[in-house]
Chains A and B, each alone.
Chain A
Amino acid sequence: MHPILAHRGRLLPYLAACAPLIAILTALFARPGALFLGEAIALAVPLTLAYAFMGLSAWYPCRQFPLNRSRLLPLVLTHAAAAGLLSATWVGFAALLAGALGLLPVFTGLQARFGTQAIALFASGVLLYLLAAALNYVLLALEAASEAERREAELAILAREAELAVLKAQIRPHFLFNSLNSIASLAATDPPRAEQMCVRLGEFLRRSLALGEKKSISVGEEIELSRAYLAVEALRYGSRLEVEEDLDERGQRCLVPPLLLQPLVENAVRHGIATRVEGGTLRVGVACGAGRLRILIENPLDPEGPARPGGGRGLANVRQRLAARYGEDALFAAKRLADRYLVVISVPAELPA
């Protein structure tokens, strides 16, 4: 449906804007040697109103042939045909109207006098069509602009939602409840370790909450957060959890979206190390070279262990945020090998100014 007809508030201003056309058309008809002024007005008012609605049909060829994406010849031919058709219809309507008015005693002879005006009216119709087409192109451009704006706002909301989801998932209730249970256990048997665990858990929570506000953090800060998390998990899993780090100094200074590593490290523990009776070693590697930052996370797993729900969500979120930030320039690969899981990330290295 045409945007002017679709919104009630737009129709009246549109018709009001057509009012000057009545004056122009009247002046055309009332030229010396043409029609009398009364006749000119009686024809101009209904004809202008009729054209106001007929001109809206230019919307369809305009939408079909966008100015910036159409070949010239089909565009011109289509509009020329539409202008000719519309104007001919209009002149036909005017002739009928003149005939009908001519039956009234005041307008006797109008039909004959109108005959001399038909060509001028047809020419006006073609000009008015061009005006209508221009108006419709403006409306289309406005619509496209507001659509683009809406889509951009939607994308921004989606990106923000992905960030919030990762923040919410960050402090997983399971992790908290299990840690509290361990603290309760150690409180009686090993108070110094219970105290240590409270401190580490506090540190992890404080760091997690502080990250929520930032758009970028250094890989080094991200590693610190993972260490706080792993320190808590080490008390739960004891000797089952070992960690090996291979970090280069430049890589640690690179900036990344916050909580990029943390969900991957959590997955490595929950879906990897924790599925093995004997546990295993989690490897975290960070390297920077040739303008790229590379991160690697590797963990062993029990290929025959029961599947635990929820691993895909963390990976999907990291993938989504990488795409939002780096687009095509981010590489993310997660691969399950026979007895271990490997995640590799490569993004443009972004060093602080």
Chain B
Amino acid sequence: MTGPTGDVAPLKVLIVDDEEPARAILRRHLEALPGVRVAGECGDGFEAVRAATALSPDVVFLDIEMPKLDGFEVLELLDRSIAPVFVTAYDEHAVRAFEVAAVDYVLKPFAAERIALAVDRARARRAAGTSVSPEGLKAAVRPAATPLARIVVRDGSRVHVIPADRLDAAEAQDDYVALKTEGRTYLKQQTLTSLAAALDPARFVRVHRSHLLRLDALARLEPLGAGSHVAVLADGSRVPVSREGYARLREKLG
């Protein structure tokens, strides 16, 4: 990206905040910096994911509490090459922000110099070629000890939100998990193990190395010989159950 001495491609920035005055001051400080171009502004989480897909910015300045998706959920759906900078008045989120290896974390209200520093850090990160760590992201997208309440999935520039209590089953498929909900299937780049760890263990059971299901969605179990079974869900779909998975299931069902 770096051209001959001094000639650096402008840093493309996306601003995401649901309050208009907050976006305005951020834009003013950013546009005053040399080599920075504000590519767009968004007022909610869905719009942010769409704009990031369309504009592929280098840096996104992200508020945390917003309509549709919160800042952490947006980050989960963004391309890993985009450097996130959180901008918020909520400093209790700071620890999580650093766990996701955000470039920076700026507290409102902020000074112009603070924004300049965040931009410098983002440039340094881009030069070094490091990106958000997926492991850190997974740890941070929800507060510790709280089961996942909803799963966000990106399909091109569209975002789907699946409430955890409507996720019927999930299946590992290479680097993805296929999420089954209300007769439809969505693909998300995640491992089944990390998804299983985030879901409420009282309601979801890993019934097979590459399958998990929600207990409430289970209609009946059919034996398949040699200790293995098949689970039939309320919507009629069938999920293989291994010998170990059957034991776990029996334990949960009491």
Task: Give Cα A236 to B23, complex, Å.
Answer: 11
Question: Are A274 and B67 within 8 A (Cβ)?
Answer: yes
Is A81 an interface residue, CB under 8 A from the partner?
Answer: no
Known A-B contacts A174-B90, A302-B67; A235 and B21 likewise in contact (beta carbons under 8 Å): yes
Question: Are B68 and A184 within 8 A (Cβ)?
Answer: no
**B110 to A: closest C-beta gap in Å:** 7
Q: Which residue of A lies closest to B72 (CB)?
A: A306
Question: Are A308 and B24 within 8 A (Cβ)?
Answer: no
Question: Are A181 and B89 within 8 A (Cβ)?
Answer: yes
Contact with A along B54-75 (1 / 0, CB 8 A): 0000000000010111100100
Known A-B contacts A180-B109, A185-B25; A174 and B67 likewise in contact (beta carbons under 8 Å): no
Q: Which residue of B lies closest to A275 (CB)?
A: B67
Count residues on chain B whose CB falls below 8 Å from chain A CBs.
29
**B25 to A: closest C-beta gap in Å:** 3
Known A-B contacts A174-B89, A274-B67, A305-B67; A189 and B149 likewise in contact (beta carbons under 8 Å): no
- The A-B contact count (CB < 8 A) is 71
Is A188 an interface residue, CB under 8 A from the partner?
Answer: yes
Contact with A along B132-176 (1 / 0, CB 8 A): 000000000001000001100000000001010000000000000
Partner of A177 from the list B43, B44, B109, B150 (CB cut-off 8 Å) is B109
**A277 to B: closest C-beta gap in Å:** 5
Count residues on chain A whose CB falls below 8 Å from chain B CBs.
29
Find chain B residues with CB under 8 A from A173 CB: 89
Known A-B contacts A276-B67, A307-B149; A178 and B44 likewise in contact (beta carbons under 8 Å): no
Find chain A residues with CB under 8 A from B247 CB: none
Is B195 an interface residue, CB under 8 A from the partner?
Answer: no
Task: Give Cα A113 to B90, complex, Å.
Answer: 92
Question: Are B65 and A274 within 8 A (Cβ)?
Answer: yes
Question: Are A185 and B24 within 8 A (Cβ)?
Answer: yes
Is A213 an interface residue, CB under 8 A from the partner?
Answer: no
Find chain A residues with CB under 8 A from B44 CB: 277
**A197 to B: closest C-beta gap in Å:** 9
Q: Which residue of B lies closest to A180 (CB)?
A: B109
Partner of B69 from the list A178, A186, A236, A306 (CB cut-off 8 Å) is A306
Partner of A181 from the list B22, B28, B70, B150 (CB cut-off 8 Å) is B22
Q: Which residue of B lies closest to A237 (CB)?
A: B19
Question: Are B28 and A188 within 8 A (Cβ)?
Answer: yes
Partner of B68 from the list A177, A183, A305 (CB cut-off 8 Å) is A305
Is B18 an interface residue, CB under 8 A from the partner?
Answer: yes
Question: Are A182 and B22 within 8 A (Cβ)?
Answer: yes
Find chain B residues with CB under 8 A from A306 CB: 45, 68-70, 73, 150
Question: Are B21 and A185 within 8 A (Cβ)?
Answer: yes
**Which residues between 1 and 49 of chain B lie within 8 Å of chain A, taking CB atoms?**
18-22, 24-25, 28, 43-45, 47
Find chain A residues with CB under 8 A from B68 CB: 277, 302, 304-306
**B118 to A: closest C-beta gap in Å:** 15
Find chain A residues with CB under 8 A from B163 CB: 304
Question: Are A178 and B25 within 8 A (Cβ)?
Answer: no
Task: Give Cα A159 to B185, complex, Å.
Answer: 53
Partner of A178 from the list B24, B67, B108, B149 (CB cut-off 8 Å) is B108
Contact with B along A183-224 (1 / 0, CB 8 A): 111101100000000000000000000000000000000000
Task: Give Cα A189 to B22, complex, Å.
Answer: 12
Is A238 an interface residue, CB under 8 A from the partner?
Answer: yes
Find chain B residues with CB under 8 A from A182 CB: 19, 21-22
Is B224 an interface residue, CB under 8 A from the partner?
Answer: no
**B223 to A: closest C-beta gap in Å:** 40
Question: Are A274 and B18 within 8 A (Cβ)?
Answer: yes
Known A-B contacts A181-B108, A306-B73, A306-B150; A186 and B67 likewise in contact (beta carbons under 8 Å): no
Task: Give Cα A177 to B107, complex, Å.
Answer: 9
Task: Give Cα A235 to B163, complex, Å.
Answer: 33
Question: Are A304 and B22 within 8 A (Cβ)?
Answer: no
Find chain B residues with CB under 8 A from A277 CB: 18, 43-44, 47, 67-68
Task: Give Cα A270 to B70, complex, Å.
Answer: 13
User: Could you list 9 further interchain pairs (A-B, Cβ under 8 angstroms) beyond the known A236-B21, A236-B22?
Assistant: A174-B90, A178-B108, A181-B109, A183-B109, A184-B25, A185-B24, A188-B28, A237-B19, A270-B65
* Chain A interfacial positions (CB closer than 8 Å to B): 173-174, 177-178, 180-186, 188-189, 235-238, 270, 274-277, 302, 304-309
Leading 7 A-B pairs by shortest Cβ distance: A185-B25, A177-B89, A181-B108, A185-B21, A181-B109, A182-B21, A306-B70
* Chain B interfacial positions (CB closer than 8 Å to A): 18-22, 24-25, 28, 43-45, 47, 65, 67-70, 73, 89-90, 107-110, 143, 149-150, 161, 163
- Contact sample, A vs B, 19 pairs, CB 8 Å cutoff: A178-B19, A181-B110, A182-B19, A182-B22, A185-B21, A185-B22, A188-B28, A189-B24, A237-B19, A274-B65, A274-B67, A275-B67, A276-B67, A277-B44, A277-B67, A302-B67, A302-B68, A304-B163, A309-B143
